[in-house]
Amino acid sequence: MSGSPFSFRLRASAAWGLVLAAPALWVGVLIWRNGVDVPFWDQWDGICPLFEKMAAGTLGPADFFALHNEHRPFFPRLLLFGLARLTGWNIRAELGLIWLLVVVCALNLRRLAQLTGWSGVPAGRWLLLAAIILLFTPLQFENWLLGFQVVLVLPVFCLTAALIVAQLRSPASFIGTMVLSTISTFSVAGGFFCWLLCLPLLLEGDGGSAAAPHRRTWWALWIGGFALNLILYFHGYHGPAGQADPLLSLTHPAHLVEFGLAFLGAPFAFGSSLAATTMAVAAGFTLLLLFVFCLGYVVRRRVASVRRRTLPWLLLAAAAVINAGLSACGRSATGLSQALASRYVIFSVLLPIGLLFALAVVWEDWRGRHPERTSGPRNTLICLTTAFVLMHLSGAFVCLRAWTDLRHVRLRAKALVELVNQIDAPADLALYVHAEVSPLKGRVNLLAGLGYLRPGLIGSPFIRDLTDPAHPGGAANGELQQAGRNSAGQLVLSGWAILPERTWAADAVLLTYDDPQYGPRIFALALGGSPHPDLATRFQVADFALAGWTRTFDPGQLPPGPQILRAWAFDPENGRAYALAGSVHWQP
């Protein structure tokens, strides 16, 4: 019956399920709108060499095992290579894989909540919702939009799964944590800490069926697996070329501490008028104090039920603290702002997620022991929670602009990749595609030959091969507005450009001179992103505020004699060019 208590509970459960799914669905929409199908920076030297070896017939296991910076991303490489072979290296498929891995992490958190006594408890639903919001925060836009970030997401998936498996109290707990910890170790530097974080839970369950009658055998296998992982990881290990020795950072302990605190507080650093680094350090310090408080409370309380309910969450929070320390040792020399990098948020959110549940258990225990002394701690928790919620949500909405900015950066990279055979632009390639420019052209052409670039390379320098008869362009798409010489005698062209049937500015503008036989011929590429705020008001589209473009080049790039110069908005997602209004009559 529609009015029965059962049907009401069913509808309420379905509605709450939609609420819990909303953060993941929102991020999924953002990924779909902003993802760009072009390899990311690290993929050019982390994944592309695998295709080179494959084409040469020399690909072997050692190539997957090879170092990349500080990491041995064997399993991420295996995943990404296999997915690339299935999809023609569609980067959007990698973004979907990252999203799916985080969805499974959320399911792992839900299961962890059930195992720690929060199943069916109203407060447990709200705690889980807060954890999911943190996990699917748009602040980690780099991880959502750059396929190579599987190397960071996979270890978090392994850790959340391992914290569940370690509580099975059977041989499966040893086997499962060994497998998951091995995957974590050979994904990212510091991934081997998954072994150590599983250890307390395995010891907690040591009195169960896993302990008898073969306890020593399983412990010997587990410890041997950990030792073997370390030996394999550090065999032939060497730090990245040009990077300072991490041990030198120990000579500046104040910088290390400040960096680590900023790392931990990054999810709460944006969206206020205060400096982001100041907010991050303050938030990180507060969270670390809460972590120490919870840890101290559990240790001093010595109650098995409290320990069992808080231990998995404290271990999850400890993972964030460990990664903050490792990042501080390896990155603090690059400056405090590096601690706020979007890609690190996948680790730093583990601290507040773990604290949500650990503090809730501590609060329940405290309230039961001291019912007459609850008002002070309750008000403190309410104030802290409200402050952190407001800081995170304001930062999450502010960062939405960063999604758009990163999409534009990736589209510029895509344009440069597609035009690599037509335009010589080493400075732009180094800025947007990869710092090591020399092998790029060969790698781009290899990928094109494998069918791994869409819509493919631009094979002709003539605009007639790129125009769309249905949308030839014109004044509605932009204008070549100014031309002149600078003090160095270089020619400067500027204007604005937007794409037809798009709601964003053109990220690339092709510059041409008129070839008497074949028509306009490409000779340079201007990248968009220059301020042109009047366009946002004119078209009522905020993204058009950066629809301006400017290009400075040596007139020697042009053939001798007078030339007619034109500009064309270029859409790298369909490989089409659209004429802009205006032209320049160039006289040498």
pLDDT at 253 over 60: yes
pLDDT, position 373: 72
pLDDT at 340 over 60: yes
pLDDT, position 129: 93
Q: Domain ranges for the chain, please list them.
A: 462-588
Q: How far apart are the C-alpha atoms of 116 and 131, rounded to whole Å?
A: 15
Q: How far apart are the C-alpha atoms of 521 and 322, rounded to whole Å?
A: 56
Tokens at 273, concatenated:
């008028």
pLDDT, position 210: 45
Tokens at 442, concatenated:
């060969």
Confidence of residue 249 (pLDDT cuts 50, 70, 90): low
Confidence of residue 209 (pLDDT cuts 50, 70, 90): very low
Tokens at 351, concatenated:
């601290």
Correct CATH for 462-588 of 1.10.3470, 2.60.40, 3.40.1280, 3.30.450? 2.60.40
Q: How large is the average pLDDT for residues 428-441?
A: 94
pLDDT at 577 over 80: yes
Evaluate the CA torsion angle 431, 146, 405, 131 in order and state its sign.
negative
Mean pLDDT for all residues in the chain:
90
Q: How far apart are the C-alpha atoms of 448 and 451, rounded to whole Å?
A: 5
Residue with tokens 């109650």: 303
Question: Bridge-partner residues for 449, per DSSP?
Answer: none
Relative orientation angle of helices 350-369 and 91-115, to the nearest 10 degrees? 10
DSSP character at residue 239: P
Q: How far apart are the C-alpha atoms of 269 and 273, rounded to whole Å?
A: 10
Q: What is the pTM of this model?
A: 0.93
Tokens at 529, concatenated:
């992103």
Q: How large is the average pLDDT for residues 230-239?
A: 85
Q: How far apart are the C-alpha atoms of 286 and 429, rounded to whole Å?
A: 42
φ, ψ at 309 (rounded to 5°): -80, -30
Give pLDDT tens digits for 498-509: 998 777 899 999
Q: How far apart are the C-alpha atoms of 398 and 303, rounded to whole Å?
A: 43
Give pLDDT tens digits for 504-544: 899 999 999 999 889 999 999 999 889 988 888 888 888 88
C-alpha distances in angstroms, 515 versus 292, 512, 554, 568? Answer: 72, 9, 19, 15
Of 191, 223, 220, the C-alpha closest to 70 is 191
* Residue-level length of the chain: 588
Of 528, 524, 525, 544, the C-alpha closest to 536 is 544
DSSP character at residue 567: E
pLDDT at 353 over 90: yes
Residue 572: asked if its preceding bond is cis (omega within 30°), the reply is: no
DSSP character at residue 225: H
Distance between first and last Cα of the chain: 86
Give pLDDT tens digits for 46-105: 999 999 999 999 999 999 999 888 889 999 999 999 999 999 999 999 999 999 999 999
Confidence of residue 369 (pLDDT cuts 50, 70, 90): confident
pLDDT, position 17: 84
pLDDT, position 208: 47
